[in-house]
Structures are given as C-alpha cells and as structure tokens.
C-alpha cells in the first residue's frame, strides 16, 4: 500500500468513525426524547425512518472499508490473473 492510498484509507476510517459517533448521539437523543415524551407507554418510535436509512448507509460504508478494501481487490485481481494464465 502506497502513501496516498494509506492516507485515503485513514481519512475514510476517520469519516466512518465520526459518522458512527454522530449516529449514536442522534439515536440516543431521539430514544431519550421519545421515552420522556411518551412516558414509556407508547412504543411508537418516531424518527425510525431516519435512523434506519442512516444505519443502512453506515453498514454499506463499513462493508466498503472492512470487507471490500484494497487488499480484497488485489487478491481477486491476482486470482483472475492466475486463471487466465
């Protein structure tokens, strides 16, 4: 891994962790607000759509960062090159 790709990976990881932190803060705020507002009796979760979409986006980012990273891409490329020989 060269310097530029390592620097890009670190930047992407930092962005991902920031998004996770903000997701946790916002989700906690929404959950506490709904619990206080409804006094725990009404189990309708207001704000679920936003949190669901945000969680899906975070999951896709996590897959791209941790599963389908540059090493995975290089490994698949080498396997394809071996097959074509």
pLDDT value of position 24: 95
pLDDT value of position 79: 86
Q: What values do phi and psi take at 8, rounded to 5?
A: -65, -40
Residues 54 and 23 sit within 8 Å (Cβ to Cβ): yes
pLDDT value of position 41: 55
pLDDT value of position 80: 85
Residues 80 and 19 sit within 8 Å (Cβ to Cβ): no
pLDDT tens track, the chain, 85 positions: 678 878 888 999 999 999 999 999 999 998 888 777 766 555 566 678 889 999 999 999 999 888 887 777 788 888 888 887 7
Alpha helices by DSSP H, 1-85: 3-38, 48-62, 70-84
* Distances, alpha carbon 38 to alpha carbons 3, 31, 35, 46, 47, in Å: 52, 11, 5, 10, 14
Domain count, the chain: 1
Domain that holds residue 9: 3-84
Let me know how long the chain is.
Answer: 85
């Amino acid at each position: 891994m060269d310097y530029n790709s390592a620097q890009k990976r670190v930047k992407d990881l930092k962005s991902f962790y920031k998004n996770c932190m903000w997701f946790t803060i916002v989700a906690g705020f929404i959950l506490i607000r709904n619990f206080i507002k409804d006094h725990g009796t009404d189990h309708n979760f207001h704000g679920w759509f936003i949190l669901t979409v945000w969680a899906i986006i975070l999951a896709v980012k996590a897959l791209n960062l941790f599963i389908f990273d540059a090493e995975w891409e290089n490994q698949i490329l080498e396997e394809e090159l071996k097959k074509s020989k």
